[in-house]
Amino acid sequence: MNLLLQLFLSFFQIGLFSIGGGYAAMPLIQAQTVEIHKWLTPLEFADLVTIAEMTPGPIAINSATFVGMRVAGISGVLVATFGNVLPSVIIMLIFAKLYERYSEQTLMKHVLEGVRPTVVAAIFTAGLSLLNLAVGSISALDLFALAVFVAAFLFANSKKITLSPITLLLFGALGGIGWEALGF
């Protein structure tokens, strides 16, 4: 199939099925770009999530642009982002017309409630694969990465110390550079 058409369809599906905002799109992006089409290696996907955390904008738009550019240049960027927002445009315009009608909203609320456990399970699965990439397997454990992971998790989960994801990532980057400089 034509590459641009494939990019369009992949990001259309990501837009259509990412219900629940934010991280909900991440497992879908992983499935389309890494597993199905192999446009990114798992490592590049992990870097993309990192980059998306540090730049403004929704992760899906960030990914559509990043992957579109890598696979097919500027036309790839346009096709992938267009595909990604098209479901939103269609659905929002329908909703804007129906917005007074109560029943559609109730149905959407039920669907949202119903898929939320799946969304959480999908983000969990994607998180586990990111962890696996970062720290390696049990037999070849990257102890530095494991220590960074544990520290970052505790900081992210702490209610007393609130550090933004960007701050945590900067510490991670400095840690990685320091570890390299020490010659490990």
Site for other proteins in 5-34 (CB under 8 A): 13, 15-23, 25-28, 31
What is the DSSP secondary-structure string of 127-175?
A: HHHHHHHHH--STT--HHHHHHHHHHHHHHH-SSS---HHHHHHHHHHH
Q: Could you say whether residue 42 binds other proteins (CB under 8 A)?
A: no
What does the alpha-carbon distance between residue 104 and residue 68 come to, in Å, rounded to a whole number? 34
Q: Are 15 and 79 in contact (CB under 8 A)?
A: no
| 50 forms part of the interface with other proteins (CB under 8 A) | yes
Among residues 5, 101, 141, 174, the one that binds other proteins under rule CB under 8 A: 174
Q: Which of 34, 72, 77, 79 binds other proteins (CB under 8 A)?
A: 77
Q: Which of residues 52-71 bind other proteins (CB under 8 A)?
A: 53-62, 65-66, 69-70
Q: Give the one residue of 5, 101, 141, 165 binding other proteins; rule: CB under 8 A.
A: 165
Residue 139 beta carbon to other proteins: minimum distance, rounded to whole angstroms: 18
Contacts of 142 (CB under 8 A, 6+ apart): 134, 135, 136
CB of 1 to other proteins, least distance (A): 17
Question: What's the angle, vertex CA 169, arms to CA 166 and CA 172, rounded to 5?
Answer: 155
* One character per residue 90-129, x = contact with other proteins (rule: CB under 8 A): -xxx-xx--x---x-xxxxxxxxxxxxxxxxxxxxxxxx-
How far from each other are the two terminal CA atoms of the chain, in whole angstroms? 45
CB of 2 to other proteins, least distance (A): 21
Q: Tell me, by CB under 8 A, how many residues bind other proteins.
A: 104
Residue-wise over 71-81: b if at least 16 C-beta within 10 A, else e? bbeeebbbbbb
Rounded least distance, CB 80 to other proteins, Å: 10
